[in-house]
Amino acid sequence: MTRRLLIILVSTTFVAFAGVYSANKKDDGFENSRNGILLRRIGHNLLRSSGDDTSRVMPIQQFSPTWFRIRFEHQLSILPDSIIGIVNTSLSTGTLPGDYTVNVVDCDAKEIVYGFTVATAASNNAMPCKGRPLPTGCYYIDLRFSQAGAINQQKSIGYIIAAIAGGILIGAFAWNKKRKKNTILPEEVVAGNNGRIKIGQYDFYFEQHCIEWQNVKTTLTNKESKLLYIFAASINEVIDRNTLQQEVWGNEGVIVTRSLDMFVSKLRKKLQADPSVKIVNFPGKGYKLEVTV
């Protein structure tokens, strides 16, 4: 995988992560507002069950992602049967974790006067005696949710990001493989004796970076050798400019378009001794190494 492709992969993965993270933060804001409404509804229904239709539910307090407190403006009486049903019904429509503990706390004594636990596995539910109403007094309701729900949500986000990154990686690998399949690299050129490749009247030695014509050797630069090697693999065929640039300069990260034209021009001069060998330009397409018999 070329450096350029790697940069594209990393950049795309980062953009995907930022998109998922941003969307998740937006969803979090919406869900937090929705959950706040559900918790206030619990308080409102508790007041109504005690015969209070006028006093207010105070703003919901949140001490952590899993710990909430419902407070009331005035004293109230709580019936255990009612609070269990009200809480379960209200939370069943939200996205808060399904495992939670509810504690009714005396405001003055700071003591838990009633509580129960609801778990996804029914065998883990903990319900104390019902039917014993709590006397009218100042109470607040603490709800603590299982950490597993929050952790699972974080895991799901991680899975989404991993899936996106994996998809990009697989796609990039497939693209790179297809590109290599459709282009001929220097290693795939079949050479003659002693690594010699015949190009018209020239003998081309890729490993030695030189061409020979009538016992006269001309030295080639590394890039000139690569370029001529690719041409030699597809004699009399037009090779796309992008393919030439990628095969010769791809691993260097930065490709200057004029570099290709410059090296083609240099190769032309070094091959001009044989009139049967020409490098022909096809504007907007690429180049062709033309060899006439």
pLDDT tens per residue, range 98-108: 789 999 999 99
pLDDT tens per residue, range 3-38: 555 566 666 666 665 655 555 554 556 667 788 888
Set out the domains of the chain in order of their start, with CATH numbers: 3-151 (no CATH), 186-291 (1.10.10.10)
pLDDT tens per residue, range 43-73: 999 999 888 989 999 999 999 888 999 999 9
pLDDT score of 216? 92
Mean pLDDT of the region 112-125:
77
pLDDT-derived band at 260 (thresholds 50, 70, 90) equals confident
The residues, ordered by sequence, that sit 6+ positions from 196 with a Cβ below 8 Å of its Cβ are 203, 204, 205
Mean pLDDT of the region 164-188:
56
pLDDT score of 247? 83
Q: Which residues pair with 70 in a beta bridge?
A: 141
Lay out the sheet containing 202-205: strands in order across: 196-199, 202-205, 210-213, 216-219
* Percent residues over pLDDT 90 in the chain: 39
pLDDT score of 186? 44
Distance (Å, whole) CA 201 – CA 275 = 9
* Percent residues over pLDDT 70 in the chain: 67
CA 120 and chain centroid, separation: 31
pLDDT score of 187? 44
Burial of 193 (0-12, 13-18, 19+ CB in 10 A): exposed
| Number of Cβ within a 10 Å radius of residue 172 | 16
DSSP 240-285: EHHHHHHHHHGGGS---HHHHHHHHHHHHHHHTTSTTEEEEEETTT
pLDDT score of 185? 42
Q: Which residues pair with 69 in a beta bridge?
A: 61, 142
Distance (Å, whole) CA 60 – CA 32 = 11
The two structure tokens encoding residue 129: 């005696």
pLDDT score of 281? 93
Residue 171 pLDDT more than 70?
A: no
pLDDT tens per residue, range 156-165: 555 566 666 6
